[in-house]
Amino acid sequence: MIANINYVKKVLGDNKAKKKFGQNFLIDENIVEKIGKNACDKELRTIEIGPGLGALSEILLKYSKCVDAYEIDKDMIDILNETIKDEKFNLFYEDFLKTDLDKYKNEEIRICANLPYYVTTPILFKIFNSNLNVSKITVMVQKEVAERFNAKVNTKDYAALSIIVQYLYDVKYEMTVSKNVFYPSPQVDSAVISFSPKIKRNFEYEKRLFEFIENCFRKRRKTLNNNLKDFLDDKQINKIYETLNLSLNIRAQEIDLETFIKMYEVVHEG
């Protein structure tokens, strides 16, 4: 097994994990087994982003039809070419953020990754904004980021990001992962979170709706009314409050997804 502290130290040798790539390698076999088994379908291709030394890749291959892995670090590419000898493993020395995903447009796929903090949101939104048939996305991220994606109304982590993602996906907090199961150990715990699509996409409608929601959260400490004044006229604002019977003191973080959709429709489709 690759997810083993002795193996990781041996393979890395004198090479250190690169901070610029957010490298922290999993060293717990049980964790990678749980992630892979939960993330994959044996009939489908899995895309892995940032395979590193291949701890997760090894398990994804076990539960997938095949694995396309995208790695940005040449040193990891050299190691992976030596350690993973499986014809189902397709390794690309390529930045996933620059990858043309259209090549996957004619098939149903799964996506799984251990994402470094600095690229978590850009990578996820590249996937979210694509028109791919992704039946499940499973990622390991910093625990606080997972909590933000899964945040419920009227909590400190609830924000425009939470609402937008939960509009598109059923979001499930799968498990907390201790910082102690990584080498080198990061400063904070991680979490595994999954996204399963729940709507048929309408990109033009979504673009306008999401912009509306983001504007409602622009000044988080202000009331909804104060935020609305920055992009709507008095007639539109009054129509929202009268139609939905909202309190003038309500803040954006106190409003659920369904109400935001109704607010948008009052202004733009009423």
221 forms beta bridges with: none
Which tokens in the block code for residue 153? 């109304």
Kind plus residue range of the DSSP H or E element containing 196: strand 190-197
* DSSP calls for 99-125: --GGGGTTSEEEEEEE--GGGHHHHHH
pLDDT the model gives residue 18: 55
CA-angle at 183, arms to 1 and 82, nearest 5°: 45
Q: To 10 degrees, the CA torsion angle through 119, 135, 161, 213?
A: 140
Domain limits, the chain: 5-197, 203-268
| 3-class secondary-structure state, position 233 | coil
What's the CATH superfamily of 5-197?
Answer: Vaccinia Virus protein VP39 (3.40.50.150)
At residue 24, the pLDDT reads 81
Q: Could you state, in chain order, the average pLDDT of each consecutive group of 10 residues for the chain (270 residues)?
A: 75 59 79 96 97 95 98 92 95 96 96 92 95 96 95 95 96 96 90 95 94 95 96 97 97 97 90
pLDDT of the residue at 19:
54
Distance CA 18, CA 71 (A): 13
CATH assignment of 203-268, given 1.10.8.100, 1.10.3720.10, 1.10.260.40, 3.50.50.60? 1.10.8.100
Which residue, 22, 26, 56, is CA-closest to 39?
Answer: 56
pTM: 0.90
